[in-house]
Amino acid sequence: MDFWPGISYFLSQLYKALLAPGSHFSIFSLLCAFAIGFLVLAGRRYRKGRRIRLKPLLRAMFPKQLLTSRSNVADVGYFYFNLFVFGIVFGWAILSYGALSRGVTDGLTSLFGALPPAPFPGYVSRAIITVMIFLAYELGYWINHYLSHRIPFLWEFHKVHHSATVLTPLTNFRVHPIYMCVFLNILAVTIGTANGLGDYLLGQPMPQYVLSDSNVVLVFFIYLYVHLQHSQIWISFTGWLGRLFMSPAHHQIHHSRNPAHFNKNLGSCLAVWDWMFGTLYIPAAENERLEFGVEPDREHAHTIRGELIAPFIRAAQMLKWPFGVRAPSAPLAPSERKQAY
């Protein structure tokens, strides 16, 4: 039996995930997150007049109770599943971003006529389309996130991500396949539309700037603070910065079990869409004591049965009502009201 194709696939996926500079989970971006988190914690100790020692700082960054928690162990399993298994068994997206982009460009051309090439240097045109696609990614992320919180049918699949009781960068992989399929198709619509509009306005197709096939603006934010959004390190942007950028504390608030935080901070890197649509919660400068997880003590929490299979059953029970909306005569149970965020 020839095992090489399987080994080759495993190694290629591992390389793409950990060693490609533009990967959303590259070693290089993780090292940047570690360095920033370490410096932030060291700076706080210094301001308090405490000695800066390596062991206490490492314990603060990697507390034992976090590393050994059932939630973190489950996140390791999600990392393996989404990286090595899901891409083989399921298709990620139905809609074609490229086809939508061409359709938008062709439609605008037929309606308004072709535009001459924009009088910009090539690097300026590429920068414009790069920013447009990044903003479209952020909008698609917000739309998908908003729908996943507001539509009970979709919430059953997104709830898997919120079931984490501790946050680490691996929590980013804690997503249900159905949620990911919906997300990628929404992204295909928003990014395809933006790319088609950009190509039309620039008068010619123009590639975005990428690093390992990822938008360079998105990669910049991943290296800067996105990994720290799923961590216990409190880094808060307040004032006007808090209205523009989704700091690590913004997203930790999003995972909070406090009802005041439900359905808030739905963006990825930017807070502007939350600000525009009224879902922004700016965290305090000082650490807010937060608890994470949806029904963290329920049976089969952090298991395949509880997080991958059960959502299908719960979501199927909602199909009798459009978009999963319950009948007025069947209100949420008290326990569900508490957790329905």
How many domains, in total, are found in the chain? 1
195 phi, psi to nearest 5 deg: -65, -40
Task: Please check whether residue 19 lies inside any domain of the structure.
Answer: yes
Task: Please check whether residue 291 lies inside any domain of the structure.
Answer: no
DSSP assigned state of 215? E
Beta bridge partners of 245: 270
pLDDT of the residue at 11: 83
Three-class secondary structure of residue 226 per DSSP: helix
332 C-beta neighbours (distance < 10 Å), count: 12
Residue 337 has pLDDT above 90, yes or no: no
Task: Please check whether residue 272 lies inside any domain of the structure.
Answer: no
Task: Please check whether residue 254 lies inside any domain of the structure.
Answer: no
Task: Please check whether residue 256 lies inside any domain of the structure.
Answer: no
Per-chain mean pLDDT for the chain: 88
pLDDT of the residue at 66: 92
pTM summary value: 0.90
The string of DSSP codes covering 191-214 is HHHHHHHHHHHHTS--PPPEETTE
Domain that holds residue 200: 13-226+297-339
pLDDT of the residue at 88: 56
Task: Please check whether residue 315 lies inside any domain of the structure.
Answer: yes
Contact call for residues 69 and 169 (beta carbons, < 8 A): no
Which range has the worst mean pLDDT, 14-23, 243-252, 329-338? 329-338
pLDDT, tens digit, 9 for 90 and up, residues 159-201: 999 999 999 999 999 999 999 989 999 999 999 999 999 999 9
Task: Please check whether residue 8 lies inside any domain of the structure.
Answer: no
Task: Please check whether residue 98 lies inside any domain of the structure.
Answer: yes
Residue 328 has pLDDT above 50, yes or no: no
pLDDT, tens digit, 9 for 90 and up, residues 234-280: 999 999 999 999 999 999 999 999 999 999 999 999 999 999 999 99
